[in-house]
Amino acid sequence: MKADYLEESLFRELEERLLQPDVRKSAKDVMDLLADEFIEFGSSGRVFDKQQIINILQNESIESLTQRSITEFKTLVLAAGVVLVTYRIVRHQSGEQPIHSLRSSIWKLTNDRWKMIFHQGTLLKKS
């Protein structure tokens, strides 16, 4: 079942927060958004846990903090308090071709707060 409009807006806002440079640099903000059991299958093919992601984002270079835009955003309620989010991201870096990827996240309602428990990024080949 698709989430209603208000829920979909909430999840888009949560996903967009994780793209904001000030949030990415704040260990506290990232900790608040990710569940303790968080796992990510990165577009690099590597697997990361919550602490590894926090460390990576803390050390992210300014060049990595590029503009990203979300398209084709969709939500699907998997169970009560569990939502799958899918979308495309276009990452824009000055003087380079845009990088496109497919993204999926699973959000779980824990103690009245939505926390991301899973994320996967898959790079798309240039067409």
The CATH number of residue 90's host domain is 3.10.450.50
Predicted pLDDT of residue 127: 52
Q: What is the pLDDT of residues 82-117, one digit of tens each?
A: 999 999 998 877 777 888 999 999 999 999 999 999
Q: What is the DSSP letter of 126?
A: P
Contact assessment for residue 105 and residue 122, using Cβ atoms and an 8 Å cutoff: no
**Once rounded to an integer, what is the mean pLDDT over residues 58-63?**
73
Residue span of the structural domain in which 10 resides: 5-123
**Domain count along the chain:** 1
pTM score: 0.88
Helices in 59-120 by DSSP H: which ranges? none
Measuring CA to CA, which residue among 125, 59, 127, 63 is closest to residue 95? Answer: 63
